[in-house]
Amino acid sequence: MNVEISFRTSTEVSIGLEERIYTVDSSGASISSGYSISLLHHYCSKLPHDEYFFPKPSFYYSEDSGGTICNIILPSNAPINQIASTPQSSVNAAKKDACLKAIEELHKLGALTDHLLPLQNSVLEEETLLVSSDSGSSEADEDSRGELHEMLVPAVLKESWTNLENCVLLYAYYIKFIPNPEDRSYKEFALFVKSPLPKEAERMELDLHLSRRRSVMTKLTPSGVAEFKREEIMQAQHFQEMFFKVILDRSELLSEFVTLGNVFLSSSSSTFYLLLPVILSNCENKVTVDWGIVQRCLSSPLFKSPVAAAKIENFPSDVCLHLVNGCRSIRDIENSLVYATHKRAFYFITSIVGEKNGYSPYRDSGTLNHLEHLNMSGIHLKYPEQPLLHAKPLFKLHNLLHNRKPEDSESNELEEYFIDLPPELCQLKIIGFSKEIGSSLSLLPSIMHRLENLLVAIELKHVLEALTTEKCQERFSLERLESLGDSFLKFAVARHLFLLHDALDEGELTRRRSNVVNNSNLFKLATRRNLQVYIRDQPFDPFQFFPLGHPCPVICTKETKGTVHPQSSCQVDHAKSEVRCSRNHHWLQKKTISDVVEALVGAFIVDRGFQAATAFLRWIGIRVDFQGSQLNSICAASKRFMPLSSLLDIGDLENLLGYQFLHKGLLLQAIVHPSFNRHGGGCYQRLEFLGDAVLDYLITSYLFSLYPKLKPGQLTDLRSVSVNNKSFANVAVDRRLHKFLMCDSCHLNEAIEKYVDFITLSPDRGLFEGPKCPKALGDLVESCFGAILLDTGFNLNRVWKIMLSILDPIKSLSSVQLNPIREVQELSQCYNWDLQFLVAKVGRNFSVDAKVNAGDVPLCVCSSNINRKEAIRTTAHQLYVKLKALGYAPKSKSLDEVLKGSPKNEAKLIGYDETPIDVTVPDIIGFENMKLQESLVNDFNPKTRSSKKTTSSGVSCISPGSRPFEVKAARGSASGESHSRTARSQLYEICAINCWKPPLFECCKEEGPSHLRSFTYRVIVEIEEAPDMILECFSSPRTTKKAAAEHAAEGALWYLKHEGYLQ
């Protein structure tokens, strides 16, 4: 059982036998009427509150002929506003009975868990969240840096031809290379696969970025079907194994003999495709394998048996050269790959330089020739008269998928680097392996990595297409889509919870939404749908590239997984330390997986709108659906706020907002602070919760569409600057919305006046100086937008237009400033300073010292504030200003500078494709009756005239004057409980609930002899909100005083109900 239950206390010393006990059947939790008092206080203390409002219950007592009645008024942000006890023998008993009834009612409404605890301590809801069997250590689980997951191998690349028939048909895709500038030659290559590529990938285009601002555009072109015989497949596999050894693991080529084909006998390759040199026909729709090159390379002595290679071939002296490994034909040496022993490097031989030999000048040694230069290194040439070999170094493989920063000093036309080598210092390795082949091979790993990623994305797209009737966007990218998806997810979940749980307060709604959208839950939902296998978050590492012919040397099994991938490897820079294994395992941060979910939501919104995004959320396990009837019920219930209309001019407020409400009760609710509790309960906090969510999405959509080139981090920064309470507070002041705020907190009113004066009088509106911004001002803007959203039937097009007109100070982005704490931290990191914030409590304030060593000069700034966070923010801002004044500035551009240089598009509302709900127009008859009643009774002078109305039961009601109001009824009177209570107790309860004086009962007439005595009672009810309204009701004669008083009370209740004041 929760610790909180075991430590409950009460003012009651013991539980008497007469005390009632409430028991929850599902959990067995129970509580007595005595302990219910402390639990009710505890529940109220957990309701949303701030320094200006602390929620607690209020108790009122009245006497009834049956005993004492306790009436409880709960805080305005509680789901119920009042509760009354049954008549009891004492005040204490009445209080216990009322508190127990309140606890019972709160539990039935869902405000208390089945363990009778406030909901903030509850577990996640099964209908909303994925329940995990290992969720007991959620905090530790959340702090875990990552988990090991397998990466999905595209299905089209997995189909093998291991069970060879006499011939194999493979689909061919010609790879076209378009260099920029066009001064390099590339050998034509093609991709061959067993299954055809999907339409979205068969014409993939990719721009590869080389050094010195060079680039190569590559394009795939479908080129028909090629037929391979059994021997040709073997040759093709050997050729692919050979060239991957050259570009990925050339150390094997240092030996005199290399065996090909063994990797295919024991290979557990996860991909099956061939990359082969081809001959392009006149039309690009057909290619044939260049078997001449394949067979010539494989005929190299390096790949022959030692016996075959030992056979000495006799060549005429004029057509051969002496190499390290013997005399070789010039024809074999040209366009081949050699190994220079004195340089320990591989080179492509492009030609024989007949006019140069060992006696020719060496270019970097002044007057020395090649012979003399090598002699200085202890190398002596035996055949200095041999012509030199013109060679280009074998390339180092790079990731060509990312942009390289250009350098102004570099030229696009920089010539290739070549070197002249003496033949006798070279070993011939691969015949016919030309520089053009090497240039093409340097591009292929990057091309195949991008193609694999695209194929994985297409497979995921096909999975997700089942959710909608139309196709979604072709490519998925985390980056900017994540911000858009995050804001929509919060809005959709907030709307769902708001409508589903009309009795939950803003704090509990926020907690439930957080439980749905937090990274931990998104991670669990994503892994349940196996989305993690589609994620590839590492940059391409050519040396972790393991295609067919180059198998992964690290074999990973269930038994060896912990050794191959120790947990410690996840806690360091995984880009440098992660090991690629045979099962494609990689470490994934949980946040990465949850970010993918948000990015997919954003992708659906951008490409197919709200409905597709909603379908995806439903598929993954997040409920965001709602019914129009739920909205209509909330709009209808807002009528209970209509009596407040007499306290302000609704038309003026509507003009400030630029919107005329159908349900004006929603607007009235939007301006009621939780400290105001004279109207039957309810405040703006729930609307604030909804308004915050819709504004977050609208502003994110605005920024997303306005700045199409803004980087994800910059977009997030701009969003945090725009969507915050202080920005909204300034809007409230600009629009004078604060003048309509209803609150009963003097301290809050004073704080608002100070802040308004500061904002009005300060031209620069300093963000981190001056009085503290009362949160209620920002809440007011959010709650008004929440009310507008409901009143329009969730018509975001209308809310969007209102947002553009009202939030001008935000959308203009004239004073963009990030969190000063972050700014000073980034500046300190930039200069490797040690930054410290020292916080101390001094009286009621927090004093903060910020210290930093700027260069060799220590700098200290101090400030104080009643709020700890504000004190730190102000201190950080002051320190940042001082550091900038000393000439220290961040190396990266500020957000202001970035925005000035960013291209702009027209802002638009992204993805909204829902049909607005037809919100039922409120019933105006009741409200008009209230106005009609006012016109009738105002004809009488309350001091000199009176009006009598005689009811059919003989009860006389005198109303000297009145004004329209709505009487708050006891909760049970509308639910069938009134028959169990007397009319007097109900009238006492109504007066207590509305904070009126208790009704005054007096016997005004006694008649008849002693044995036939009759009594006439009158009851007087004073309406404090309407000083000119006095209700006086007389009973008909009754044989007992109790019956006469009861009849008078019935008359008062009848009158209030008959005239429409009491529902």
Q: Which residues are catalytic?
A: 692, 782
Please enumerate in sequence order all residues whose Cβ is within 8 A of that of 389, keeping only pairs 6 or more positions apart, or say none.
333, 338, 347, 349, 351, 352, 353, 420, 421, 422, 423, 426
Three-state DSSP class for 34?
Answer: coil
What end-to-end distance do the CA atoms of the chain give, in Å?
A: 42
Strand 1014-1022 to strand 1000-1007: parallel, antiparallel, or no bridges (unpaired)? antiparallel
Torsion of CA 387, 388, 391, 393, to 10 degrees: 150
Look up tokens 């691969």; give the residue.
430
Q: Are 495 and 193 in contact (CB under 8 A)?
A: no
Please enumerate in sequence order all residues whose Cβ is within 8 A of that of 164, keeping only pairs 6 or more positions apart, or say none.
230, 233
Nearest alpha carbon to residue 600 among 492, 476, 465, 489: 476
Three-state DSSP class for 124?
Answer: coil
CA distance linking residue 94 with residue 72, whole number of Å? 10
CB burial readout 429-447, b (16+ within 10 A) else e: bbbbbbbbbbbbbbbbbbb
Q: Which amino acid makes up residue 922?
A: P
Locate all alpha helices (DSSP H) within 670-807, ordered by sequence. Answer: 685-706, 712-722, 725-734, 746-761, 775-791, 796-806
CA distance linking residue 37 with residue 91, whole number of Å? 13
Please enumerate in sequence order all residues whose Cβ is within 8 A of that of 533, keeping only pairs 6 or more positions apart, or say none.
149, 150, 151, 152
Q: What is the CA radius of gyration of the chain?
A: 41
CA distance linking residue 599 with residue 605, whole number of Å? 10
470 CB burial (10 A radius; 0-12, 13-18, 19+): exposed
360 CB burial (10 A radius; 0-12, 13-18, 19+): middle
Nearest alpha carbon to residue 80 among 784, 677, 645: 677
Q: Are 777 and 738 in contact (CB under 8 A)?
A: yes
361: which DSSP letter?
B
Strand 1030-1034 to strand 956-958: parallel, antiparallel, or no bridges (unpaired)? antiparallel
388: which DSSP letter?
E
Q: Extract the tokens encoding 369.
A: 């020739």
Three-state DSSP class for 478?
Answer: coil
Q: Are 517 and 589 in contact (CB under 8 A)?
A: no
Q: Are 828 and 835 in contact (CB under 8 A)?
A: yes
Please enumerate in sequence order all residues whose Cβ is within 8 A of that of 190, keeping only pairs 6 or more positions apart, or say none.
172, 173, 174, 175, 223, 275, 276, 278, 287, 289
Give whole-number Cα distances, 620 to 422, 535, 597, 614, 626, in Å: 66, 16, 9, 10, 17
Q: Categorise residue 698: left if φ over 0, alpha if ψ from -120 to 50, beta otherwise.
A: alpha
Bond from prior residue into 181 cis (ω within 30 degrees of 0) = yes
Three-state DSSP class for 658?
Answer: coil
* Chain CA centroid to CA 116, Å: 32
Strands lying side by side in the sheet with 58-64: 58-64, 67-73, 82-84
Q: Are 881 and 775 in contact (CB under 8 A)?
A: no
Three-state DSSP class for 451?
Answer: helix
Strand 67-73 to strand 274-280: parallel, antiparallel, or no bridges (unpaired)? unpaired
